[in-house]
């Protein structure tokens, strides 16, 4: 029940002793890896290891120009380190703003501290919506109830009396109290939550798993192909060991998709930084991938579509009740509530707590499940009296005039509360019993000015919106109707069927719900997920915690309860619902563009592996040196891929990343490889023809590869916008300059003196481009892939 302890908490000297003894709540860094870990992880990678081994082989030959690909090791490491450090800095700065700050009582006074400042035996005060941040034992309890469902799966809140144990990771549903910290730092469950909640790392996801699968296959192919290439070049083509080493490097370097891993890390890191600039804290990096797949947003009304605060409107007396009596009842209710919710705060602002408080016999804190609160007092006449305040459709008789008037007011978008006296004491199992209504309290809700534009954006992008609120259904319907986007008809969740199948059908076919309990919110999210939807849930109150945790993407408001911020994957620190379109757009940009550039890198890997295999099977000299492969990658993949990875992209991500990439990458790679090798066989000079003839054959073969590979870029870049057209044209012009300028011809070991051979290479490249275009159309026709338009204007950006 209620305990009023006078424990002042630890003294400054006791706190200092515990800090010195290492009994502080030290937690892992919010962004996971230290700067040293980031540098080490970006330098010592599988890709860099492969390239470094090939670089050593090339340097041993003394051909420095052919070692130019070694710059990729420096570039990959430097860019990855810089971007991840930027993301770490963003996460660290935002986490300080967004994390829970427990209220600790020390030396007789209480104030907020950071979680890391908690020491063993500290007294921590909690109220509704607060997260239990370290394990402890309750010392004071004022009707304290804690939800431990995230830890135990138990759905009902647990009442906590003095000496009851509380575990970090649970949260307060109602009442207030104090607990003494018994486990801090690594001994507390909170340390595990912190280590997992906001770590900057690419944990398992479809995207990263797909890329890792591709890398594993490539690694297994590299060794046999490399050995076979060296053997053929040494013993069949008659080259010395230096030329054999250069041939091996020329065959293997393009097979390594070095830029794909780099661009994936850069795209995720830039996503974190961009969202951070909008005061959006990404607590789990893979949440960005979830953003791209969202097709349903479940939004709570209060704090999302409407602003958090409410203002007092008017007091409407019922059945001849007298204003002084009602006002005194409201003052006493305000005095008895140490942690009032937003509605009670609006009431208390007009009817502040009374100076002469009545003795309290029992209290019933507000919960979203029962939708009322109250207290049983010893009245001025010495008799017990129970005052309650809450939802009129819960406290008033359904056919009463008060219920009818409240419904009419709510249909205009107002929030209405009923205050009255109850038949039973508020702690009675049958409470409140019959309620004698005294007055209706009308509160004004302010709709967020950017809510309508935000909802319009979601509708335009094909993202369904479900408004799920614990408020009166008529009030919720009025708010959504005023926004002009969501259907105004609101379903009272108390009328939803109990059968799971019928429940899921109702959730799927309706958009607005009122009087939803916390467990119904959770069930709605599960029902939508079972029907194949990727669900984002937004919320700010303790009643949203369970649904936020279960949703594919939980989004909490920065001013919401600490519990909601703790379980959410994304926190909107500035409380702006209008930030959410930018969040979704950023996820789509990141994932869509990674898939786009993956097509380029996989195509290069396929044609490089096949070309090396063809050379081994035909036992001919390898056509290229490493420098030729380096310049091929500059403008067909490297620079274009980097620019495409940063471009706007509004396409919603779909499952099947690897399959879709293979559908274009394999046939396109085969076409480039076949066209290139056929060209090589057609222009290959007779043995002993000399270095000039060999270089001319290499130049013609390289021209074929570049023409075909550039058309792969032209296909992947669709739908075209002006800058994409310019990107493809500039790439083509760059190669025209390289092939025609004497300086670059000499630098890159090219010779365009054989016009017939060069013409053969260009024609073969054009034939390959036509076949790649045909492949693109057939892919759309037979696999249902959307055929991107030839040209499209820049996608509309979300409104700010």
Question: So which residues are the catalytic ones?
Answer: 300
Q: Are 218 and 256 in contact (CB under 8 A)?
A: yes
CA-wise closest residue to 555 among 355, 296, 735, 779? 296
SS3 350: helix
- CB within 8 A of 638, min separation 6: which ones? 259
Q: Are 529 and 96 in contact (CB under 8 A)?
A: no
| Integer Cα distance of 158 and 149 in angstroms | 10
Question: Could you tell me the CA-to-CA distances from 400 to 40, 318, 476 in Å, in that order?
Answer: 71, 11, 22
Q: Are 162 and 234 in contact (CB under 8 A)?
A: no
Q: Are 715 and 672 in contact (CB under 8 A)?
A: no
Q: Are 679 and 701 in contact (CB under 8 A)?
A: yes
Q: Are 95 and 30 in contact (CB under 8 A)?
A: yes
Longest Cα pair distance anywhere in the chain, in angstroms?
A: 119
Which pair of structure tokens corresponds to residue 249? Answer: 């490097």
Question: Could you tell me the CA-to-CA distances from 167 to 191, 193, 619 in Å, in that order?
Answer: 12, 12, 69
17 phi, psi to nearest 5 deg: -60, -40
Report angle CA 398, 326, 391 to the nearest 5 degrees.
30
Which pair of structure tokens corresponds to residue 318? Answer: 């019922």
Compute the 3-state secondary structure of the chain and give helix, strand, coil in percent, each to the nearest 5.
55, 15, 30
Characterize 652-688 residue by residue with b for buried, 16 or more Cβ atoms within 10 angstroms of its Cβ, and e for exposed. bbbeebbebbbbbbebbbbbbbbbbbbbbebbbbeee
Overall size of the chain counted in residues? 800
| Integer Cα distance of 519 and 535 in angstroms | 16
| Integer Cα distance of 747 and 737 in angstroms | 13
Angle between helices 241-252 and 206-231 (to 10 degrees): 160
Start-to-end CA span in the chain (Å): 49
Characterize 114-130 residue by residue with b for buried, 16 or more Cβ atoms within 10 angstroms of its Cβ, and e for exposed. ebebbbbbbbbbbbbbb
Q: How many CB atoms lie within 10 A of CB 689?
A: 12
Long-range contacts of 75-80 (CB under 8 A, 24+ apart): 75/262, 76/42, 76/45, 76/47, 76/48, 76/258, 76/259, 76/261, 76/262, 77/42, 77/43, 77/48, 79/262, 79/266, 80/42, 80/262, 80/265, 80/266
What are the counts of helices (DSSP H) followed by strands (DSSP E) for the chain? 28, 21
| Integer Cα distance of 503 and 687 in angstroms | 78
Q: What is the DSSP string of 441-507?
A: EEEEEEEPTTHHHHHHHHHHTT-EEEEE-SS-HHHHHHHHHHHTSS---EEEGGGS-SSHHHHHHHH
Q: Are 401 and 379 in contact (CB under 8 A)?
A: no
Question: Could you tell me the CA-to-CA distances from 205 to 211, 356, 580 in Å, in that order?
Answer: 10, 60, 22
| Integer Cα distance of 411 and 466 in angstroms | 19
Residue with tokens 């249909």: 411
Q: Are 411 and 396 in contact (CB under 8 A)?
A: no
SS3 288: helix
């Amino acid at each position: 029940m209620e305990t009023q302890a006078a424990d002042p908490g630890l003294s400054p000297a006791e706190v200092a002793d515990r800090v010195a003894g290492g009994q502080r709540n030290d937690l892992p860094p919010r962004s996971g890896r230290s700067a040293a870990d980031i540098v080490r992880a970006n330098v010592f990678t599988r890709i860099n290891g492969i390239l470094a081994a090939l670089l050593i082989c090339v340097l041993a030959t003394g051909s420095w120009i052919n070692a130019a690909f070694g710059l990729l090791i420096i570039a990959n490491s430097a860019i990855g380190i810089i971007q991840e450090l930027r993301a770490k800095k963003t996460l660290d700065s935002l986490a300080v703003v967004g994390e829970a700050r427990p209220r600790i009582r020390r030396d007789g006074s209480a104030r907020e501290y950071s979680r890391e400042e908690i020491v063993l035996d500290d007294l921590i005060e909690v109220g509704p919506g607060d997260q239990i941040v370290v394990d402890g034992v309750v010392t004071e309890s004022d009707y304290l109830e804690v939800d431990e469902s995230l830890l135990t799966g138990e759905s009902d809140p647990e009442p906590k009396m003095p000496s009851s144990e509380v575990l970090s990771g649970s949260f307060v549903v109602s009442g207030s109290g104090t607990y003494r910290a018994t486990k801090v730092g690594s001994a507390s469950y909170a340390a595990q939550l912190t280590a997992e909640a906001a770590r900057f790392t690419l944990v398992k996801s479809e995207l990263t798993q797909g890329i890792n699968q591709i890398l594993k296959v490539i690694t297994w192919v590299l060794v046999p192909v490399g050995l076979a290439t060296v053997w053929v070049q040494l013993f069949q083509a008659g080259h010395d060991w230096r030329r054999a080493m250069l041939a091996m490097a020329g065959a293997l370097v393009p097979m390594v998709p070095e830029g794909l891993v780099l661009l994936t890390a850069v795209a995720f890191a830039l996503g974190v930084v961009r969202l951070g600039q909008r005061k959006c804290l990404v607590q789990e990096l893979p949440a960005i991938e979830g953003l791209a797949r969202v097709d349903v947003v479940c939004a709570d009304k209060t704090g999302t579509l409407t602003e958090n605060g409410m203002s007092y409107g008017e007091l409407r007396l019922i059945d001849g009740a007298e204003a002084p009596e009602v006002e005194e009842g409201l003052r006493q209710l305000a005095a008895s509530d140490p942690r009032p919710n937003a509605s009670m705060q609006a009431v208390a602002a007009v009817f502040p707590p009374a100076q002469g408080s009545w003795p309290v016999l029992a209290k019933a804190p507000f919960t979203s499940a029962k939708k009322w609160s109250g207290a049983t007092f010893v009245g001025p006449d010495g008799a017990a009296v129970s005052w309650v305040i809450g939802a009129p459709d819960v406290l008033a008789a359904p056919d009463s005039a008060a219920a009818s008037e409240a419904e009419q007011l709510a249909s205009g978008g107002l929030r209405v509360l009923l205050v009255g006296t109850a038949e039973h004491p508020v702690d009675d199992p049958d409470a409140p019993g019959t309620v004698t209504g005294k007055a209706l309290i009308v509160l004004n809700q302010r709709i967020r000015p950017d809510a309508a534009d935000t909802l319009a954006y979601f509708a335009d992008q094909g993202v369904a919106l479900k408004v799920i609120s614990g408020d009166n259904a008529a009030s919720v319907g009025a708010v959504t109707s005023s926004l002009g986007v969501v259907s105004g008809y609101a379903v009272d969740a108390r009328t939803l069927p109990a059968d799971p199948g019928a429940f899921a059908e109702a959730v799927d076919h309706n958009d607005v719900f009122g009087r939803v309990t916390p467990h119904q919110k959770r069930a709605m999210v599960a029902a939508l997920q079972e029907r194949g939807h990727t669900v984002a849930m937004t919320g700010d109150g303790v009643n949203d915690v369970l649904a936020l945790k279960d949703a594919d993407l939980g989004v909490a408001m920065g001013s919401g309860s600490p519990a909601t911020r703790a379980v959410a994957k994304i926190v909107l620190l500035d409380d702006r619902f209008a930030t959410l379109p930018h969040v979704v757009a950023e996820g789509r940009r990141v994932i869509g563009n990674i898939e786009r550039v993956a097509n380029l890198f996989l195509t290069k890997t396929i044609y490089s592996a096949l070309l090396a295999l063809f050379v081994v099977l035909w036992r001919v000299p390898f056509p290229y040196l490493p420098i030729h492969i380096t310049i091929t990658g500059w403008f067909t993949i490297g620079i274009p891929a980097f620019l495409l990875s940063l471009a706007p992209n509004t396409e919603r991500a779909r499952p099947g990343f690897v399959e879709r990439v293979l559908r274009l990458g394999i046939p396109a790679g085969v076409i480039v490889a076949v066209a290139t090798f056929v060209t090589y066989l057609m222009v290959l000079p007779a043995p002993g023809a000399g270095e000039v003839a060999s270089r001319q054959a290499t130049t013609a073969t390289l021209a074929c590869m570049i023409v075909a590979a550039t058309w792969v870029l032209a296909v992947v870049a669709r739908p075209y916008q002006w800058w994409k057209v310019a990107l493809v044209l500039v790439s083509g012009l760059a190669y025209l300059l390289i092939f025609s300028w004497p300086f670059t011809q000499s630098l890159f070991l090219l010779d365009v003196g054989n016009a017939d051979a060069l013409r053969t290479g260009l024609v073969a490249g054009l034939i390959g481009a036509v076949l790649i275009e045909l492949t693109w159309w057939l892919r759309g026709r037979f696999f249902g892939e959307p055929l991107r338009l030839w040209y499209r204007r820049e996608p509309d950006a979300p409104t700010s």
